[in-house]
Every structure is written in structure tokens, then in C-alpha cells.
Chain A
């Protein structure tokens, strides 16, 4: 598919989502909202995993920082429940970015499996803080938010909140898309492909990775703010390793280095886990099966499916198309 065609498809899909969602049941709306929020998280991780080749296992930390900031401000200081919601959004992004800036100092020097482990450890630090700092975070019990913000529009309404989240999702998608298409984004891909060559070419690869890490943290923080208001309760369970692993799996499932893939992965995981689990007791097997099959047969994730089909058709179909494909790939 042409480049323009892809953009058009995504736009049509988002438009369809915006139009169709209000007609869904209120629980389904909630799940879609949740999938969009986790989609932002997955896309932020995709910047690291897909585009820069940094498999971070600590993305939940930024979600947690944003969520805890929102909950603490709302519950202890009554802040962020009116127009100040927008200030909290900003603060959430900043705290996510700041945390990433701090963690990045430790993490970026490592690569491969060591990077996985150090991000995991740093993520657990946030969990420990949430679990231990009782007076602030409520420890194991977590914090309850008083209510969703209200400023002319009431976010307590499921459909309204969906549109707000969709807005943030679209803005995030566009910003991240512009980012990965920019020279900076291209340099990240270069680092993913061969860091040494980039370094020889004169790029400060450490700085590039560090900046990517901070940007990913910022979007993680944004997802955290939205998540806190969706759930109404923030507890250490949000920051546990499983959330980071989930985010990683969403990206892998959807297809790394595609941005929208992460969002699609988020949708699939949310649907399987939160919808299917209310229908059948063996939902975990389905989820496990989907993961295994994706990794075995779809290394490019779900976003790789169209490409696969085209290839398969080309191979079994007319020689003309095969030629076209071959000439295209060179």
C-alpha cells in the first residue's frame, strides 16, 4: 500500500471509531477508552522498541508516575478536577519525562539484555516507592480519586471521556508520527540498524537514545494521567512488572516500528483480557495462543499481515506481480 494510502486508512479507522463508539454499550465504550490509553503507552514504547531497538521493560514506571501524580494531586490537594486538569496533563507529561531523564542516565549505557534488566530494575524502584511511601501513596491500598474533572464538560460521562481520550490519542499519534519521520527519527532507526556506523558518521548516539527515552517517558506519563481518571483508583498493581510486559507484548503483537501497531495490539489485548474473560473462563489460553502464534508466524506483528498476504499472493499468483514485488523491494 502506498504511504498516503496507509495514512488514509488510519484516518478512516479513527473516524469510524469516533462515529461508532457512542452507539456501543457503556462497558464497551469504557474498554475502547482503556485500549486507547494503553495504545498511547504502547506507542510510546514503540519509539524505544520499534524505532530505536531498545526493549524497555520499565514503561509502566512512567504510566505509574503520571497516574500517581494525578491521584495524589486530586486526593490530597483537590487539584486537577476543573480546568486545572490541563495543568495536570502537562505535569504528568513532565513527570514522566523527568523520571525517564533520570532513569535514562543509568539505562542508556546498557544494551540488549542488560538494557532489559536495568529498565526492569528501575521500574521496580517506582513500584517500591508506590508500595512503601504510605503517607503519600496509600501503600498497598492505593489512592482513590474523588471524581473525574469537570470544566464545562463532564468527564464523568463515559462518552465525553472517550472523546477526550481519543483527542489525546490522535494528537499523540500525529506527534509521534512526525517525530519518527523527522531526521531525528531517521537517526533513531539508524541506531537500531547499526549503532557503530552512526557513531562513526558523527552522531552522538547516546544523546539520541537518551532523548528518545525521555520522549517515550513523557507520553507514558500522559497515558498515566488519563489512566488514573479512567480507573478512579491507583494502586501499586498499576506499576507492577506485568503492566510493562503487557505494553511490550502489545507492541510485539501489533507490529514494532509501526506506531499504530501498538494501538492495535492494545486493542486486541484489552478485548481478549477484559471482554473475553467475562464470557469464557479459558480466555487466558486464547491470549497465550495469540501471543505464541504471533511470535511464531508473524514476526512483523498484526501489522505485518497485509504484507504477508501480498507476498503469498504474489508467490502463488501471476509472475508479473512477483516481478513487481521484486523490483519494488530493490
Chain B
């Protein structure tokens, strides 16, 4: 009788438990479930980039069967529409409703800036796998103790690139770059480095973001420049080289990474062959690790991975490595950041470790667009061949942290165009 009663009671309790299921399961299985909230634009103009980001992360998850050293990964993707206010709301949804252990992603610098305070306010870890806004891990870093960057700062590749431009014997360079914060930071980094090794930026042009017709800008480019530095974003990257070539340009063209990354490269024509750009990743990186990654990614998603894919793949790998050390237990936000910042990684892009402001120190690649066969693919395609590697580049380059942080963040006005004519 008593047993029967117990059985009945047990069943009743079980039903109640089931009814409360949604609420209860989140806390009771916390030990072995790792909830990762992922933000990427899935609709709108940046949807395809968002797909590259998500695919990168997903590829790693699939490789390990969604299992991080015993922790089952619950991967929740939300659409931030590449709009900061939407990103904030989705991040709040992920943190408050899904109770995720961490937020990962965001694409634009503006989204990164908007998500960082959310991480502080809600005390949730935010891994900026793609947003490159300099100040997140520079002047504002103290405000965002729960932010960790696994990608790059916009000006990080630009510093060595400036030095490289000097080595090529360029003396006078004109810049033409999309008119937004990311553009200022990429150009600013280049200008600072280029001018500190004796070069001169003699003209800076800022076409509005989304410009389709560069007709009004191209003729104004100074004729006596040695090279043209470009930083474009989105469809601008496709239009500009085409129109520049049509205008009969013979000068060398160099530029920021997003002007020629693997996301835009397949859609480009032969006019970009010989253009040189810089980034912390190239799909044409000739290492066994990268060859395997490119093949796997291409087989699954039908395209060559971009740095968006690699960045998020590597981020997943980093999270996994930390959890390996804790044997699948979530160590808590503070401890996780502590552990992650001390670790060294052998990533697809090369060796990566972190500086004390939680930004990666990594290889910067100078890449030249070439048409060739790679990794055993049959067709001739455009690849970003690595022509020079700067190892272990930090966001402060050779300037030293304190010295660097004394200057204001790169902007339309800084560094001032001393040599503009």
C-alpha cells in the first residue's frame, strides 16, 4: 500500500517535473550542458557573411559531435540583422531567456560596441569572434571585463602593412576607403606605420559606405602617387577594382583585408590579380592544417572559407580547449577568461595567444591575389597567396602598449593628414 502510494506520488511528481520541464532542465543539467548564444546577421545585406560565420562555428561542432570534453553544446543562433539595437535585444534574449554561458559573434564593429556593455550589465561572457573595433580591447577595455576577443583589431594588420609598403619603396600613397569607423581604423593604422618609416600619405578620400559608382572619386586620385591604398566593404569591394581598372590605372593597388577576402574573391574578375592586402588569415595559407580545413569546409558548404569562417571555427576550438582543461565543467565566466587568456593555441590561422587586454597576438599575412590552382582543385581560381608573414603581431605593434594608448583612437581626423596637398 505504502509502496503503491509512493509509486503514485513519484509519478505525480514526475509529471509536475515534466510540466515545469522548460524551467527546471536549464538549471539541473547545467553541469554537462554548455549553452552558446551565437549572434550573426542572417537577414539583410550581410546575411551571407553571417552564414560564413555560423558555418565556421558549426563545422567545428560537427567535427567533435557537439561534445566539448563531456559537455553537450547547445548552439543557439540568433539573427542580429547587422543592426546594433537588434543585436542588443537578441543578446538579452540569449542571456535572460536561454541563460547561455556565453555570447559569441556579432559582425560589425558597431555591433561589437553595442554588445560589450550588455556583457558587462548582464555579467555574461562575450567572445567577439569577428567585430574588430579597436577600442573594445584598447581604451575601453577596462569597461568590459567580460569581453574576450578571438578575432582581430582593425588596425592590427595595418601596422605591419605600413612597414611593408615602405620596404616596397613606396614614398607617396593615396588612400580611398569606405567612410565608417572600421575604415578609419584600417587606414589610420596604415598611415601611422607608413609615415613612421618615412612614407607620406598625400591624399585621403572617403566615399560613403555603399557607394556603387566611383566615377566622381577615381579621377581625383593624385597622379603622382606610388600606390593606392583601398579599404572597401561589401559590394563596394567588387565595384571599386573594376572601375579603377576601366579608368586605366597602372599603379599598384594595396589594401585592407576585407577588400579582397575570400568572401568577395570568387565574385571578382582578373582585374584584381596582383593587388596586395593584409589580414590574419588567408585561405591560401600553405599549411597542412589549413589545407585540411579548406577542403573540409569547401566539401560541406561549397565555398572557400573566409576569415569569418576561420575566426569562428577557431573560436569554437578555443572554447573546447578550455573545457578540456576543466573536464567539461563550466568554470564560471571570470575563471574562463582567466584560463583562455593564458593559453596558447595552434589554430588554422597559425599560432595564437592573448595579450593582457584580451586581444589575440597572431601572425599577420601580406597576401597577393594570384590566379592559380591550390590544394588539388582542378580549376584556376583567385587565391590570396601569402607573400610575407609577420609573426606574433600584437595590436600595439612595435609602439608599446602605454605609448600607443596615449594617442586617440583612429578616426577621420586622426592621424592628421600632414602631407595632404
* A and B associate in one complex: yes
A144-B117 in contact (CB<8A): yes
Known contacts A278-B78, A278-B90; A233 and B181 CB within 8 A of each other = no
B85-A237 in contact (CB<8A): yes
Complex Cα distance, B85 from A277, in Å, reads 14
A233-B411 in contact (CB<8A): no
Cβ of A274 within 8 Å of any chain B Cβ, yes or no, is yes
Q: A140 contacts which of B93, B97, B121, B180 (Cβ < 8 Å)? A: B180
Q: Name the A residues within 8 Å of B109 (CB-CB).
A: 140-141
Q: How many residues of B contact A (CB 8 A)?
A: 32
Known contacts A139-B180, A140-B180, A141-B181; A232 and B113 CB within 8 A of each other = no
Cβ of B316 within 8 Å of any chain A Cβ, yes or no, is no
B117-A232 in contact (CB<8A): yes
A144-B110 in contact (CB<8A): no
Known contacts A142-B113, A278-B90; A25 and B84 CB within 8 A of each other = no
A231-B116 in contact (CB<8A): no
Complex Cα distance, B99 from A26, in Å, reads 11
Cβ of A204 within 8 Å of any chain B Cβ, yes or no, is no
Cβ of A52 within 8 Å of any chain B Cβ, yes or no, is no
Q: A233 contacts which of B88, B90, B133, B180 (Cβ < 8 Å)? A: B88
The closest CB in chain B to the CB of A143 belongs to: B113
A213 to chain B, nearest CB (A): 26
Q: Name the B residues within 8 Å of A146 (CB-CB).
A: 143
Which residues of A from 128 to 164 have beta carbons under 8 Å from B? 134-135, 138-142, 144-147, 156
The closest CB in chain A to the CB of B412 belongs to: A134
A144-B114 in contact (CB<8A): yes
Q: Name the A residues within 8 Å of B118 (CB-CB).
A: 232-233
Complex Cα distance, B86 from A237, in Å, reads 9
Complex Cα distance, B42 from A270, in Å, reads 19
The closest CB in chain B to the CB of A146 belongs to: B143
Complex Cα distance, B95 from A278, in Å, reads 13
Which residues of B from 77 to 133 have beta carbons under 8 Å from A? 78-79, 83-85, 88-90, 92-93, 96-97, 109-110, 113-114, 116-118, 121, 133
Cβ of B43 within 8 Å of any chain A Cβ, yes or no, is yes
The closest CB in chain A to the CB of B42 belongs to: A281
Q: B110 contacts which of A31, A135, A235, A274 (Cβ < 8 Å)? A: A235
Q: Name the A residues within 8 Å of B110 (CB-CB).
A: 140-142, 235, 237
Complex Cα distance, B117 from A138, in Å, reads 15
Q: Name the B residues within 8 Å of A134 (CB-CB).
A: 181, 411-413
Q: Name the A residues within 8 Å of B85 (CB-CB).
A: 231, 233, 235, 237-238
Which residues of B from 50 to 84 have beta carbons under 8 Å from A? 78-79, 83-84
Cβ of A30 within 8 Å of any chain B Cβ, yes or no, is yes
Q: Name the A residues within 8 Å of B90 (CB-CB).
A: 278
A237-B83 in contact (CB<8A): yes
Complex Cα distance, B412 from A103, in Å, reads 29
Complex Cα distance, B114 from A25, in Å, reads 23
Q: A144 contacts which of B92, B113, B180 (Cβ < 8 Å)? A: B113
Known contacts A25-B97, A26-B96, A235-B84; A145 and B411 CB within 8 A of each other = no
The closest CB in chain B to the CB of A28 belongs to: B97
Q: Name the B residues within 8 Å of A28 (CB-CB).
A: 97
Complex Cα distance, B184 from A135, in Å, reads 13
Number of A-B residue pairs at CB separation under 8 A: 87
Q: Name the A residues within 8 Å of B89 (CB-CB).
A: 30-31, 34, 231, 274
The 8 A CB mask of B162-185 against A (1 = contact, 0 = none) is 000000000000000000111000
B93-A27 in contact (CB<8A): yes
Q: Name the B residues within 8 Å of A84 (CB-CB).
A: none
B117-A139 in contact (CB<8A): no
Q: A26 contacts which of B97, B180, B413 (Cβ < 8 Å)? A: B97
The closest CB in chain A to the CB of B408 belongs to: A135
Cβ of A284 within 8 Å of any chain B Cβ, yes or no, is yes
The closest CB in chain A to the CB of B182 belongs to: A140
Known contacts A25-B97, A134-B412; A141 and B113 CB within 8 A of each other = yes
The closest CB in chain B to the CB of A144 belongs to: B117
A233-B114 in contact (CB<8A): yes
A108 to chain B, nearest CB (A): 30
The closest CB in chain B to the CB of A273 belongs to: B86
Among B83, B114, B121, B143, the one with the most A-chain Cβ atoms within 10 Å of its Cβ is: B114
Q: Name the B residues within 8 Å of A140 (CB-CB).
A: 109-110, 180-182, 209
Complex Cα distance, B17 from A213, in Å, reads 56
The 8 A CB mask of B24-67 against A (1 = contact, 0 = none) is 00000000000000000011000000000000000000000000
Complex Cα distance, B110 from A238, in Å, reads 12
Q: Name the A residues within 8 Å of B93 (CB-CB).
A: 27, 274, 278
Q: Name the A residues within 8 Å of B92 (CB-CB).
A: 27, 30
A284-B43 in contact (CB<8A): yes
B79-A142 in contact (CB<8A): no
Which residues of B from 196 to 229 have beta carbons under 8 Å from A? 209
A139-B181 in contact (CB<8A): yes
B82 to chain A, nearest CB (A): 9
The closest CB in chain B to the CB of A242 belongs to: B83
Q: Name the A residues within 8 Å of B42 (CB-CB).
A: 281
Identify 27 residue pairs between A and B in the complex whose beta-carbon atoms are under 8 Å apart, listed by A's number. Answer: A25-B96, A27-B93, A27-B96, A30-B89, A31-B89, A134-B412, A135-B411, A135-B413, A138-B113, A140-B110, A141-B113, A141-B133, A141-B181, A144-B116, A144-B117, A144-B143, A146-B143, A231-B88, A232-B114, A233-B113, A233-B118, A237-B84, A237-B85, A278-B78, A278-B93, A281-B79, A284-B43
Which residues of B come within 8 Å of A, CB atoms?
42-43, 78-79, 83-85, 88-90, 92-93, 96-97, 109-110, 113-114, 116-118, 121, 133, 140, 143, 180-182, 209, 411-413
Given contacts A141-B109, A142-B84, A233-B114, 20 further A-B contacts (CB under 8 A): A27-B97, A34-B89, A138-B113, A140-B110, A140-B180, A140-B181, A140-B209, A142-B113, A144-B113, A144-B114, A144-B116, A144-B140, A145-B117, A147-B121, A233-B118, A235-B84, A235-B85, A237-B110, A278-B78, A281-B79
Which residues of A come within 8 Å of B, CB atoms?
25-28, 30-31, 34, 134-135, 138-142, 144-147, 156, 231-233, 235, 237-238, 274, 277-278, 281, 284
